[in-house]
Amino acid sequence: MAAYRLRRQSKPAHAGKLIWTEDKFRALLECAPDAMVIVDASGNITLVNAQSEKLFGYKREELLGQPVENLIPNRSRKNHLGHRKEFAKTLRLRMMGSGMELFGRRKDGSEFPVEISLSPFKSKDGILVFSAIRDITFQKQSQKELADARDLLEVRVRERTPELLHSNQALQAEIAHRELTQKQRDEEQNRSRRLEEQLI
């Protein structure tokens, strides 16, 4: 915690003024609903919360001091090093990997889709990056189920189209037949009426 030691309250706070202490900071971090991973300028993990342990399957002492790349799939680690260096040049709050699919890697090697928000913080000992990491497995499953339902609907529409066309053609033929029959009946009635008129 030396890298970002927060000022402790040494005198009574003024009314309404928020005084951040290390204890308050840690308590807030532990209450966060997402996994929170704090990384120093070298890319090493300096602090994590309980959600990080739960999400990645590590104990926090296994993570502290380790490269943050340990939490991403092997195939992405080389590129991540470059992305991290680029982020260090801009240092602004943003979503990580905009437009890309990002994955986290658990201790057991399993992977899961994630959303990551990055927030830089300048401390007296250097730059720290706060990473809020959210597991979006459920959202991805919901999106897939919706896409599958749409695909199935399109397939069914395509399958039904010939059947519907045949039904429409049969219906049109039936209507045409009825109209012709009605026309013939009307003509026959007209002829009969004319004959009756001639006989009167």
pLDDT in tens, 11-22: 444 544 555 577
More confident residue, 137 or 200: 137
Q: What torsion, rounded to 10 degrees, do the Cα atoms 25, 28, 33, 39 define?
A: 0
User: CATH 3.40.50.620: does it fit domain 2-135?
Assistant: no
Query: What would the pLDDT profile of 88-130 be if each residue is shown by its tens digit?
Result: 666 666 666 566 789 999 999 999 999 988 888 887 778 888 8
Among residues 114, 5, 15, 8, the alpha carbon closest in space to that of 56 is found at 114
Structural domain boundaries in the chain? 2-135, 137-200
pTM for this prediction: 0.63
Q: In this prediction, what percent of the chain has a pLDDT beyond 70? A: 78
Q: Which amino acid is at 98?
A: S
- The region, left, alpha or beta by phi > 0 then psi within -120 to 50, assigned to residue 178 is alpha
pLDDT reported for residue 10 = 45
Structure tokens, 165? 């066309």
Q: Check: CB of residue 43 under 8 Å from CB of residue 84.
A: yes
Query: What would the pLDDT profile of 71-83 be if each residue is shown by its tens digit?
Result: 999 998 888 777 7
